[in-house]
């Protein structure tokens, strides 16, 4: 895949999100922000990584039972994987459509349900792969390239 990160992993961290835990919602993205800042990652790249991680983290909180998250950084970019146990997504193409949402009233009252999370992840990343099994769970595999790696790949 042209838009995937490559080369040795220089930094790796795992996180866990528990479904419906609104008290801690967003804390994984906050930790990712801290880590990327410490590693002196470019501010624009941090911004993009945070859009991706926040949208994916909130989907895990809203829809999944639990989710394992891994952050890997190489010279070429950031690799994020969100692997959840949950209901899965029956129609991925539909879920990727702007405005499509199954958010409940309660979720909407918390500010979710625009149906823009997955489309935001797609637009903001260099590559997004969604795989899902109904009744089992959903996996997002996401790459964000550093600007210099991107120009080399082009």
Q: Which is nearer to other proteins, 13 or 123 (CB)?
A: 123
Q: Which is nearer to other proteins, 54 or 82 (CB)?
A: 54
Under rule CB under 5 A, residue 138 binds Mg ion: no
Under rule CB under 8 A, residue 26 binds other proteins: yes
Pick the piece of the chain touching Mg ion (CB under 5 A) from 9-17, 80-88, 112-120, 124-132. 112-120
d(CA 142, CA 129): 6
* Binding residue for ligand ATP, selected from 4, 102, 124, 150, defined by CB under 6 A: 102
User: x/- binding map, residues 24-63, to Mg ion, per CB under 5 A?
Assistant: -----------------------------------x----
């Amino acid at each position: 895949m042209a838009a995937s990160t490559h080369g040795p992993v220089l930094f790796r961290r795992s996180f866990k999100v528990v479904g419906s835990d609104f008290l801690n919602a967003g804390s994984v993205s906050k930790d990712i922000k801290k880590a990327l800042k410490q590693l002196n990652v470019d501010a624009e790249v941090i911004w993009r990584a945070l859009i991706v991680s926040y949208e994916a983290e909130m989907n895990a909180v809203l829809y999944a039972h639990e989710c394992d998250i891994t952050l890997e950084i190489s010279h070429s970019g950031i690799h994020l994987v969100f692997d959840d146990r949950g209901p899965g997504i029956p129609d991925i193409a539909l879920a990727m459509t702007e405005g499509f949402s199954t958010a409940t009233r309660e979720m909407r009252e918390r500010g979710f349900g625009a149906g823009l999370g997955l489309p935001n992840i797609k637009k903001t990343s260099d590559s997004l792969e969604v795989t899902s099994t109904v009744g089992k769970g959903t996996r997002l595999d996401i790459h964000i390239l550093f600007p210099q790696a991107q120009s080399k790949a082009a």
